[in-house]
């Protein structure tokens, strides 16, 4: 292989890693449902940070908000690209989708 070239096998592994998020159950639902559950987790992250004591005794609200926005960037992009449009925002709790949203959240940090 020429210097700097990547093998086909390595490219295949890279594609598999890049598509791993698609195995999350949220991707089997319309965007409005999947995004609702993911944003529920984002809200929980923000609330947790708001009530966690800081080392200085002050909260840096800009940093907390920025962290949530940056955290949501890729998962919402993935959901927008892979989920069908339509449907309504859920009105009832679904433990499986809540768990799937936590898993997607963890995956986005990785």
List the pLDDT tens digit at each of the 110 positions of the chain. Answer: 566 677 888 777 677 666 677 789 999 999 999 999 999 999 998 888 878 777 666 667 788 888 888 889 999 999 999 999 988 899 999 999 999 999 999 888 77
Q: Report angle CA 44, 68, 97 to the nearest 5 degrees.
A: 45
Whole-angstrom distance, CA of residue 42 vs CA of residue 69: 8
- Return the half-sphere exposure (C-beta side, CA atoms, 13 A cut-off) of residue 94: 17
Q: Which two tokens stand for residue 91?
A: 């009105």
């Amino acid at each position: 292989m020429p210097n700097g070239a990547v093998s086909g096998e390595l490219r295949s592994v890279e594609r598999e890693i890049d598509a791993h998020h698609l195995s999350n159950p949220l991707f089997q639902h319309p965007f409005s449902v999947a995004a609702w559950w993911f944003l529920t987790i984002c809200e929980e992250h923000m609330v947790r940070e708001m009530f966690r004591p800081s080392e200085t005794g002050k909260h840096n609200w800009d940093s907390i908000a920025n962290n949530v926005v940056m955290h949501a960037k890729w998962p919402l992009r993935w959901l927008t690209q892979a989920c069908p449009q339509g449907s309504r925002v859920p009105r009832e709790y679904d433990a499986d989708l809540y768990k799937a949203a936590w898993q997607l959240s963890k995956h986005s940090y990785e």
